[in-house]
Amino acid sequence: MSPEPKRRNAEKTKASILLAAQQLFAEQGFSQTGIRDIAARAGISSPLLMRYFGSKAGLFEAALIDAVRIETVLTPTKAGFGERLAMLFTDSEINITPPAIIALSVGHPDAQEIATRVVSEYVIQPVAEWLDGTDKVARATEIFMLATSFVMYSRQIPVIGKSEHKGRSVNEWLAGTVQAIVDAN
């Protein structure tokens, strides 16, 4: 009687696994998230997940790469980058951003190695190439550092997400500080 009798579809299954992994890794971090949790949220069994992604670390890497959407803020014009990045990284609806996953995965050796490599290749390098001026890699790293610290604390210490400082919200402060690094070429 079910309108769609649950047809098999490997592509959609893989996508649902990736989404579940991104959500849970971002919420709970690498070591606190089990493959059974992810499989349950994706609506499948854990061995299937293992066959598609090889290991928990492999799934983590795939989920991280898939979560990167940095190219959407690397527009030709440099103005407004701070705001766009702050929006991209702090949108409360889609909170599966790289900073969130990274921040919640520090400490575990495997996750740390993967996160460092993926962020370096898929976030920091593109931003660095997009920047003008000198010290591109260092400035791109600083930008990501700031964004990550913001995401981390807007979750952990609730007051900071809403706090106002000299009339500017902390979100605006992040955008402004990031933009200052962009313009300091």
Contacting positions for a copy of itself (CB under 8 A):
28-32, 102-109, 112, 115-116, 119-120, 134-135, 137-139, 141-142, 145-146, 148-150, 152-153, 156-157, 159-160, 163-166, 170, 173, 184
46 binds, among DNA, a copy of itself, none (CB under 5 to 8 A by kind): DNA
| Binding site partner of 112, from a copy of itself, DNA, none, Cβ cut-off 5-8 A by kind | a copy of itself
Burial class (CB in 10 A: 0-12, 13-18, 19+), 1: exposed
Distance CA 94, CA 22 (A): 10
Planar angle of CA 79, 121, 170, nearest 5 degrees: 45
According to DSSP, residue 111 is labeled H
Largest Cα separation within the chain, whole Å, is 64
Query: Using the rule CB under 7 A, is 166 a contact of DNA?
Result: no
Q: Closest approach of Cβ 90 to a copy of itself, in Å? A: 14
Nearest to DNA of 47, 176 (CB atom) = 47
